[in-house]
Amino acid sequence: MDQSQSPCPLAFLVTDVANREADVRSTYGKAFKKAATPLDAQMAEDFADSRNRSLALLAMMIGGVAIARAVDDKASNNHCLRLAMQSGVRWLNDCMPIWLQ
């Protein structure tokens, strides 16, 4: 993982926030939900569960980055990031309106 770029705060703080006070966790939760909003716009209108899909996709992206940051093996790190990215792109493409594909 290229450490030269600033990490996503949602991925960087995820493990620390879990052990913090309720107001800190609440703020993180609001930021998480807000970060998923741009993904909502990419979902097809006929997807009744588009919000749930956006939240799940964001959770996968955050988890992929968080795990990649935690492993010390560069090959595993890059593999984890690549899998998360490929899965996310594939899932997002499946949820996009036909006219955007």
pLDDT of residue 25: 94
Closest Cα to residue 42, out of 92, 98, 86? Answer: 92
Domain assignment present for residue 3? The answer is no
CA torsion angle 58 69 1 60 (round to 10): -20
> The whole model's pTM is what?
0.74
Domain assignment present for residue 86? The answer is yes
Number of structural domains, the chain?
Answer: 1
Question: Looking at residues 10-35, what average pLDDT do you find?
Answer: 92
Task: Print the domain residue range for 20.
Answer: 9-100
Mean pLDDT, rounded, of the chain? 82
Comparing 8 with 43, the larger pLDDT belongs to 8
